[in-house]
Amino acid sequence: MTSFPLALLLALPVHAGVAEREPPMAELWLFVIGIAALSWVMACRRWWLPLAVWLPTALFVASLIADFADPVIGPAVREELGLAYVLQADLAGALLLVVPLMLANIRFSRKD
């Protein structure tokens, strides 16, 4: 049983296989649609219920954006998946943050 020397492990590129760790674009857009539908249903019950969805969604988006801002992972993602992936992920993240707040605001400000 042989093992790799530590020097060889340290020489391997850090960003090998970054694409496997990032969510696929179709999955992100389905998540946007799901959060929008869930927020709409929750806003129909109580105006403040979409705010309960907002916090976990914001944490997910923050972790996604943190990967893009990392000095090692960010360039590897742009190289491996392309700039279009980063832009679409940013747009999906922005929609994930805005839609629950928008629906809560619409329901709160509506005069029944």
pLDDT in tens, the chain (112 residues): 555 544 444 444 444 577 788 899 999 999 999 999 999 999 999 999 999 999 999 999 999 999 999 999 999 999 999 999 999 999 999 999 999 999 999 988 876 5
* Whole-prediction pTM: 0.76
86 inside domain: yes
Is-contact 103 39, C-beta < 8 A? yes
pLDDT at 20: 84
Number of domains in the chain: 1
pLDDT at 112: 58
**Residue 94 phi/psi, 5° resolution?**
-65, -40
pLDDT at 16: 55
Q: Which residues of 29-44 are buried (b: 16+ CB within 10 A; e: fewer)?
A: eebbeebbebbeebbe
8 inside domain: no
4 inside domain: no
What is the CB-side half-sphere exposure of residue 42 using CA atoms within 13 A? 20
104 inside domain: yes
Q: Which structural domain, as residue segments, surrounds residue 75?
A: 32-109
41 inside domain: yes
6 inside domain: no
Of 72, 71, 63, which Cα lies nearest the Cα of 12? 72
Neighbour tally for 75: CB within 10 Å: 13
